[in-house]
Amino acid sequence: MTPSSNHAHNHDQCIEQALVRASDICEKRETRFTPLRRKVLELVWGGHKPITAYELLDLLSLDGKKRVAPPTIYRALDFLIEEGFVHRLESLNAFIGCSDPEHLHQGHFLICTQCRTVKEINEKTLHDKIKDVANNEGYQLDHSMLEIMGKCVNCNQVS
């Protein structure tokens, strides 16, 4: 997700940790972490900002290899979402790496409308409250996605 502005961030190490975690999780779950899925995950984590499927397609084609077809990239993204390695941000039609892939969970995010940084909110009480509200209205919650739009601390300081 978004690195904290309070400390130095080793981005290469961050990407490598995400890839190692994904590989370990796939091994435990007995799912296939193919080279394409690995590369897509690496690219999603590449900038700590949301990335679209077509941006991923363009980046994959920079390798000089045959262009990957859109259905292929969407299948890879579907797998990464299903395994909890990335989240789809509906409002941006884009994808972001998950900060806690070991625990399958709902997506709750703070999204900066100015610089497009995204911060995942890993707050169980928020999910529990959403579930309670749904249950009180007679709904059985299947999935919740909360995207809160605003300006991040860095953009607020510039304004």
For residue 21, the tally of other CB atoms under 10 A from its CB is 16
Paired sense of beta strands 94-97 and 86-89, if any: antiparallel
- Separation CA 123–CA 40 (nearest Å): 27
Q: Pick the residue with more confidence: 89 or 158?
A: 89
Q: Band the pLDDT of 62: cuts 50, 70, 90.
A: confident
Specify the CATH number of the domain 11-158.
1.10.10.10
Range 96-120 average pLDDT: 88
Range 93-106 average pLDDT: 86
For the chain, domain boundaries: 11-158
Q: Which two tokens stand for residue 14?
A: 């961050």
CA Rg, the chain, in Å? Answer: 17
pLDDT in tens, 118-144: 999 888 888 889 999 999 999 988 878
Q: Which two tokens stand for residue 114?
A: 């100015």
Whether the per-residue pLDDT at 65 is higher than 70: the answer is no
- Separation CA 64–CA 81 (nearest Å): 27
- Separation CA 13–CA 139 (nearest Å): 42
pTM for the model stands at 0.83
Distances (CA, A) of 66 to 32, 57, 61, 73: 22, 11, 7, 13
pLDDT in tens, 72-88: 999 999 999 999 999 99
Q: Band the pLDDT of 61: cuts 50, 70, 90.
A: confident
